[in-house]
C-alpha cells in the first residue's frame, strides 16, 4: 500500500477499474489473482479512509459556517 499513499482518489478509482476489467476479461492467471485482489483490497481501504476524512472535513466546515 505504500505506493498507494501518494495516489489521489481519482487515481485509486482508475486503478480499481483496471483491476476489475482485468478480472472480468480473464486476463489474469491464477498465480497473479491473489496479489491483484490484495492490491484491490488495499486500494478500497485507502478510498474508504479518504472519503471518511473528506466527510469529516466537510461536516466541520458546514458546522463552522452555520455558527458564523
Please, which pLDDT band fits residue 4 given cuts at 50, 70 and 90? low
pLDDT at 3: 58
Backbone angles phi, psi at 29, to 5 degrees: -90, 165
State how far the Cα of 9 lies from the Cα of 46, in Å rounded to an integer: 8
pLDDT at 6: 85
Tens digits of per-residue pLDDT, 14-56? 999 999 999 999 988 988 999 999 999 999 999 999 999 999 9
Three-state DSSP state, 30: helix
**What is the average per-residue pLDDT within 6-10?**
93
Amino acid at each position: 500500500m505504500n505506493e498507494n499513499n501518494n495516489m489521489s482518489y481519482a487515481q485509486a478509482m482508475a486503478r480499481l477499474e483496471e483491476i476489475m476489467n482485468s478480472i472480468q476479461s480473464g486476463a489474469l492467471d491464477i498465480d497473479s489473482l491473489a496479489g491483484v485482489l490484495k492490491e484491490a483490497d488495499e486500494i478500497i481501504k485507502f478510498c474508504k479512509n479518504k472519503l471518511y476524512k473528506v466527510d469529516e472535513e466537510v461536516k466541520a466546515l458546514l458546522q463552522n459556517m452555520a455558527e458564523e
